[in-house]
Amino acid sequence: MALSRVCWARSAVWGSAVTPGHFVTRRLQLGRSGLAWGAPRSSKLHLSPKADVKNLMSYVVTKTKAINGKYHRFLGRHFPRFYILYTILMKGLQMLWADAKKARRIKTNMWKHNIKFHQLPYREMEHLRQFRQDVTKCLFLGIISIPPFANYLVFLLMYLFPRQLLIRHFWTPKQQTDFLDIYHAFRKQSHPEIISYLEKVIPLISDAGLRWRLTDLCTKIQRGTHPAIHDILALRECFSNHPLGMNQLQALHVKALSRAMLLTSYLPPPLLRHRLKTHTTVIHQLDKALAKLGIGQLTAQEVKSACYLRGLNSTHIGEDRCRTWLGEWLQISCSLKEAELSLLLHNVVLLSTNYLGTRR
């Protein structure tokens, strides 16, 4: 009995030792299997450094857009006038930056393929011409912003004189129309003066037929008649040498033509003559590229911009009339040689003064 009790006690002790041991072993197995199952789960959650950076950047961009949207709505509700100016400024900077990138791409392509300016397609030529003009106008703002604290004065001047200091990207739609009207009024003031200079040089023309043709042309323009293309082309010889050749024009005549082309007239006559030559040569090259492209390929805005550059106030004229007038201009321009560009320069006055639909 005593021996059986001892054996029973030992078996109980060993049984208690075995049972927990089996339980612990099962727990360890479950724990190991849990670790084995958890490893792929943790690998899915863990991202590579590149993915971490990408997700972080996406989060920052999303939050920035949300904050920017709230800021815009706040300005629109509480400061509507300032919000309009702020929107125009930001859009203008974006358009100017886009123009700069496009101009750089065109210049890089020209350098790589050894292409000259007059060999470019029309739209690329026009983009470079307009971008150079915009940069020249912005250069003045950059110069007056150099002194310390002068940028505050610059912002005030930009607000007070947007037409004189800002480029078209920073104008409101109403300002664009109003400012183009103002600029055209400036150049239209020089038209009667240029016609009077043409009348003064008529006695200096040796050919009697050319004298009569020029007199008749000036009379038609003064009476409000729009001249025909053949009336202008008949005077090609008259404008290729003395007294109306580009190098034979008088100083006052050159200044009046500079105002008609919206160029400054306060420079010495040799510089004015050089600027007029350069400007007229660029327009002539643009005309050749445009004739190759075709007027029908231009958008309505491109047609109006092309007409305005060549002397017509296209802001208040329909698209069809602008295309008709531009076709007349191209017919004259593409018929002229380099020595006859003085006639193309005067064509800014001859062809645009009495065109139908223009504002008097």
Task: Give domain limits for the chain.
Answer: 65-170, 173-351
Distances from the Cα of 50 to the Cα of 53, 56, 63, 201, 347, angstroms: 5, 10, 20, 77, 63
Q: Coil, strand or helix: which one is 181?
A: helix
C-alpha to C-alpha distance for 295 and 327, rounded to whole angstroms: 7
241 Cβ neighbours under 8 A, 6+ residues apart? 248
Q: Which two tokens stand for residue 45?
A: 């959650």
DSSP notation for 311-354: T--GGGS-HHHHHHHHHHHHHHHTT--GGGHHHHHHHHHHTTTT
- The mean pLDDT of 322-344, rounded to a whole number, is 95
Give the distance from CA 64 to its chain's centroid.
27
C-alpha to C-alpha distance for 323 and 26, rounded to whole angstroms: 91
Give the distance from CA 330 to its chain's centroid.
24
Q: According to the model, what pLDDT value does residue 64 have?
A: 81
Q: According to the model, what pLDDT value does residue 358 have?
A: 55
Confidence class for position 203, pLDDT limits 50, 70, 90:
very high
Distances from the Cα of 116 to the Cα of 21, 106, 131, 239, angstroms: 91, 11, 17, 28
Confidence class for position 306, pLDDT limits 50, 70, 90:
very high
Q: According to the model, what pLDDT value does residue 88 have?
A: 85
C-alpha to C-alpha distance for 314 and 13, rounded to whole angstroms: 110
Q: According to the model, what pLDDT value does residue 346 have?
A: 95
Q: According to the model, what pLDDT value does residue 148 have?
A: 77
C-alpha to C-alpha distance for 191 and 212, rounded to whole angstroms: 21
DSSP notation for 37-89: HHHHHHHHH---HHHHHHHHHHHHHHHHHHHHHHHHHHHHHH-HHHHHHHHHH
- The mean pLDDT of 251-274, rounded to a whole number, is 93
Q: According to the model, what pLDDT value does residue 300 have?
A: 95
Q: According to the model, what pLDDT value does residue 27 have?
A: 42
Confidence class for position 9, pLDDT limits 50, 70, 90:
very low
pTM over 0.75: yes
Could you read off the pLDDT of 42-78 as tens digits, one per residue? 444 455 666 777 777 777 878 787 787 777 777 677 7
**Mean pLDDT for the chain overall:** 84
Give the distance from CA 139 to its chain's centroid.
16
Distances from the Cα of 58 to the Cα of 43, 62, 271, angstroms: 22, 6, 55
Q: Which residue has the higher pLDDT, 157 or 254?
A: 254
Confidence class for position 141, pLDDT limits 50, 70, 90:
confident
C-alpha to C-alpha distance for 237 and 343, rounded to whole angstroms: 9
